[in-house]
Amino acid sequence: MSAERNRLVNIVIDEGSLAAATADAEHERRVAIFDLLEGNVFALAECDEGPYALTLSVVDAKLVLSVRGENGAEDRAIILSLTPFRKVIKDYFLVCDSYHTAIRSATPSQIEAIDMGRRSLHNEGSDLLTQRLAGKVSLDHDTARRLFTLICALHVRT
């Protein structure tokens, strides 16, 4: 399969699934979508219908990735439990809150330390997503990181 076919060309987030977001979180979501569309690797296993359109939503506490291939090919739904993601998402939100507070008042070294923790949790979440999609979707590390950002946007904090 070629790089032109193994990619996302459209990303929609179900508005009804979005959690209330701070301005910082909303900005991160918009940047993640922009960056994903600029460059990504995404291919359905055993399928050569790309490039793809992706709709992300949460239904019954499960993550739903609805993928439509080129030429209006039928939707494929990939459903993942959010349970394995809950701890890393919770920790990621806590560190992000600390980071956004720190950039307003902390020293550069404190900000850097918090940012290292934030990036580490982001990597952990993207690695988990890659593992959970194994055998269903092939994606690169940067695509997984940006998709993890979007999954966080869907996660309702309780």
Mean pLDDT over 112-117 rounds to: 92
pLDDT in tens, 89-114: 999 989 988 988 898 999 999 999 99
Q: Which domain holds residue 66?
A: 8-154
In a domain, 84, yes or no: yes
Instruction: Provide the number of structural domains found in the chain.
Output: 1
Mean pLDDT over 67-90 rounds to: 87
In a domain, 2, yes or no: no
Q: Which pTM was predicted? A: 0.86
Query: Nearest Cα to 123, choosing from 144, 103, 105?
Result: 144
In a domain, 1, yes or no: no
Query: Nearest Cα to 96, choosing from 11, 17, 21, 12?
Result: 21
Longest pairwise C-alpha distance within the chain: 52
Beta bridge partners of 102: none
C-beta atoms surrounding 137 within 10 Å: 24
| Residue 28 clears pLDDT 50, i.e. is over it | yes
pLDDT above 90 covers a percentage of the chain that reads: 58
Q: Which range among 62-66, 68-72, 106-110, 126-130 shows the weakest confidence by mean pLDDT?
A: 68-72
SS3 122: helix
